[in-house]
Amino acid sequence: MRAVAIKDSESDRLTPDGQAAPAPGSGPISIVAAGGSPSSAPALDASDGRVSRAQRLRQERSAQIQAVARELFAKRGYHETSIQDILDGAGIARGTFYLHFDSKRAIFDLLIDDFLVRLQSVLTPVDVQPGAPPPLMQLSQNLSRIITVLHDRRDLTRIILLLAEGLDAECDAKMAEFYSRVLDLLDGAIARGQKLNLIRPCTPRIVAQAALGSLKEVMLQWIVRRDSTPDELRQVCHELLAYSLHGLFNSQPAPGPGG
């Protein structure tokens, strides 16, 4: 993704030769003393306020474009969404779009990158130091935070799970790197659990892959394909964790006849 220089057309003024011209009243202000002669007091410069306002306007415009593109990508797909669709949805001219992004792919990559960073930020390794919360509680909190992020951004979750992989080699590599990091976290947590005799002997990488595959499918069904309630999501979190820890085997089977 290439970042492009961003200018705000509403705040920049150009002279006929294309050079930036000062806005009215933007020059230094002289203070006239009582005798009518300019004093030696320092000039007052209002440029800092104009720069801050221009930056805020650019950030707001960029966020608006991203929000429209995110919704369109999630509903129609990447290839079925054109730049013109984004322009129409945002109510902007083509030139304004290119002040912020140099292509449709640039905005798609930014959305994916930001979302993956957000997901990574809520994943924390299990702390087994004395005084740390119980490992099971930490695992549950990790899973709950992931589900919250995925549900809060259902449109991006749909893009990640259904649209991003298979788009092209570059996007596949991006997703593979992200899932590899998640697997590393799960792998490490399982290995540490084995050392503490909390997890049975197993091949951590395979079990981590099984856990990640289960999470992706459950998120597809309970977040992408339906808008689950908070209570339903808490139940999803509980069942995912219970399945990962205990599988389907009933450790306390009902007694048989005559038992």
Does 256 fall in a domain? no
Nearest CA to 100 among 75, 79, 83?
83
Nearest-angstrom CA–CA distance, 256 and 259? 5
224 with 120, same domain: the answer is: yes
Which of 102, 137, 172 marks a domain boundary? Answer: 102
pLDDT band at 44 (very low <50, low <70, confident <90, very high): very low
The answer to the question of residue 71 being in a domain is yes
Q: Kindly state whether residues 51 and 155 are assigned to the same domain.
A: no
Give the 3-state secondary structure of residue 71: helix
Cα dist from 217 to 49, 121, 157, 204, 235, whole Å: 49, 22, 12, 20, 15
Does residue 82 share a domain with residue 128? no
pTM: 0.69
How many Å separate Cα 215 from the centre of its chain? Answer: 18
> Do residues 114 and 225 share a domain?
yes
Domain final residue pick, 102, 120, 138:
102
pLDDT of residue 198: 80
**Distance (Å, rounded) from C-alpha 218 to C-alpha 214?**
6
241 and 120, same structural domain?
A: yes
Q: What does the pLDDT read at residue 257? A: 62
The amino acid at 223: I
User: What pLDDT was estimated at residue 23?
Assistant: 43
Residues 152 and 56 in one domain: no
As a whole number of angstroms, the longest Cα–Cα distance in the chain is: 114
Nearest 5°: CA angle at 136, between 135 and 142? 90
Predicted confidence at residue 231, as pLDDT, reads 96
| Closest by CA position to 112, among listed 180, 177, 187 | 177
User: 191-229 pLDDT, tens per residue?
Assistant: 888 888 888 899 999 999 999 999 999 999 999 999 999
Higher-pLDDT residue of 19 and 187 is 187
**Same domain? 143 vs 230:** yes
- pLDDT band at residue 254, thresholds of 50, 70 and 90? low
CA distances (Å), origin 220, targets 207, 214, 225, 259: 20, 10, 6, 43
Residues 98, 84: Cα–Cα separation, whole Å: 12
Residues 61 and 131 in one domain: no
CATH classification at residue 194 = 1.10.357.10
Distances (CA, A) of 160 to 81, 85, 93, 258: 16, 21, 29, 54
Instruction: Specify whether 84 is located in the same domain as 210.
Output: no
- Amino acid in the structure at residue 233: L
Contacts of 42 (CB under 8 A, 6+ apart): none
For 239, the domain range is 109-246
Domain count along the chain:
2
pLDDT, residue 248, reads: 80
